[in-house]
Amino acid sequence: MSLSASPDLMARTAPLYDRVKSVIPSIEWPAFAEDIDAILALKRERDAVILAHNYQTPEIFHCVADIVGDSLALAREAMKVDAGVIVLAGVHFMAETAKLLNPAKRVLIPDLDAGCSLAASITAADVRLLRQRYPGVPVVTYVNTSAAVKAESDICCTSGNARKIVESLGVPKVIMLPDEYLAQNIAAETGVEIVTWAGHCEVHERFTAQDIRQLRASHPGIVVLAHPECPPEVVGESDFTGSTAAMIDYVDAKRPARVVLVTECSMSDNVAVQHPEVEFIRPCNLCPHMKQITLPKIRRTLETMRHEVTIDPTVAAPARRAVERMLEI
Ligand code: 13P
Ligand code: SF4
């Protein structure tokens, strides 16, 4: 990373800087420009595409990513990729899902330590025990899990389709793992009895109902959009609940004068770039796992073709079935 950049490099990357200038100070741009320029060239050389989650920082999200979205969109789009190499700018379970759906492609993640507190909260053995305890009750597993956990499930879901998936089963009771709050929020929406697990997203569990009340008191007229991984009392205080993509769609469609996205920090930066007319109030929590992914690490991944994501074939087949069942609905 360099703090000065050649005039040529600055000229080449100027259109990209123009996109993100509202959220990246000009003094920081030369440090990003060199890596961005190298990554764009390496993508062509390696026949690679970059899939980036909505929580990636703006220089990744707006300047090097080919496809951006929520967990559901990334899973769907991964299946349409023509390139031989997919670099997943997101966390490990997202890279595993891309690999499950594209077994013939090389899927790379810039940092193997980019985990997730939800994925870490449950093992395949835990799911087997729950099945023994609740015989015949279908198991719906959030995509924020390892392939081994998906392999023990009947069907997967994301925050974008959880309600639809639960309703599609047409049963009075389901096991939904591992996000306790998402499960409680979906139970409230659907009336289906849901057996939960005590997993939490370390980013969303920190928001409280009191935070939302204080925001409303200090920012009159604010529209509050919350992610369904937040505790039910936070969802109860919000104007709208939805996946990261659903929150973006809300802002795109309604253009509220003032809004808060009760979710990971980078979301507001990424959406604000496209909506200068909207005032974003930004109390947010950082996801330390998402923030493991940086431009220098993406560049190194493309230079070295590491770290390749592989999945044990005995786990991959049943895990793929659970993800494909979700995508069929
Ligand atoms: P979505 O993008 O699917 O809403 O998920 C949020 C999340 O926490 C992913 O890590
Ligand atoms: Fe996991 Fe939460 Fe981070 Fe998403 S934001 S990767 S759910 S810890």
Residue 5 is predicted with a pLDDT of 84
At 255, give phi and psi (nearest 5°). 40, 60
Nearest-atom index, ligand 2, CA of 55 = 5
CATH T-level topology, domain 204-281: Rossmann fold (3.40.50)
Domain residue spans of the chain? 7-115+290-304, 117-200, 204-281
Burial per residue of 224-239, b for 16 or more beta-carbon CB atoms within 10 angstroms, e otherwise: bbbbbbbbbebbebbb
Q: Give phi and psi for 107, each to the nearest 5.
A: -110, 125
For residue range 218-270, list pLDDT tens digits in order: 999 999 999 999 999 999 999 999 999 999 999 999 999 999 999 999 999 99
Q: Which atom of ligand 2 is nearest to the CA of 287?
A: 3
Please give the angle made by the CA atoms of 87, 89 and 95, to the nearest 5 degrees: 65
Q: Bridge partners of 173?
A: 193
Q: Can you give the pLDDT at residue 140?
A: 98
Does the reported pTM lie above 0.85?
yes
Evaluate: CB of 94 within 6 angstroms of ligand 2: no
Atom of ligand 1 nearest to the CA of 90: 10
Burial of 211 (C-beta count, 10 Å sphere; 0-12/13-18/19+)? middle
**Topology agreement, domain 7-115+290-304 and domain 117-200:** yes
What is the band of 2 on the pLDDT scale with cuts at 50, 70, 90? low
- By the 8 A CB rule, do 107 and 86 touch? yes
Taking CB atoms and a 6 Å cutoff, what residues make up the pocket around ligand 1? 54, 70-72, 144, 158-160, 201, 229, 243-244
Name the residue of 284, 290, 291, 293 to mutate for ligand 2: max ligand atoms within 8 A of Cβ.
290
Say yes or no to pLDDT of 319 above 60: yes
CATH architecture of structural domain 117-200: 3-Layer(aba) Sandwich (3.40)
Q: At the topology level of CATH, where does 7-115+290-304 sit?
A: Rossmann fold (3.40.50)
Mean per-residue pLDDT, 8-25: 96
User: pLDDT, tens digit, for every residue of 27-42?
Assistant: 999 999 999 999 999 9
pLDDT digits (tens, 9 = 90+) for 151-185: 999 999 999 999 999 999 999 999 999 999 999 99
Give the Å distance between the CA of 180 and the centre of ligand 1.
15
State the average pLDDT for the chain: 97
Encoding tokens for residue 291? 């923030």
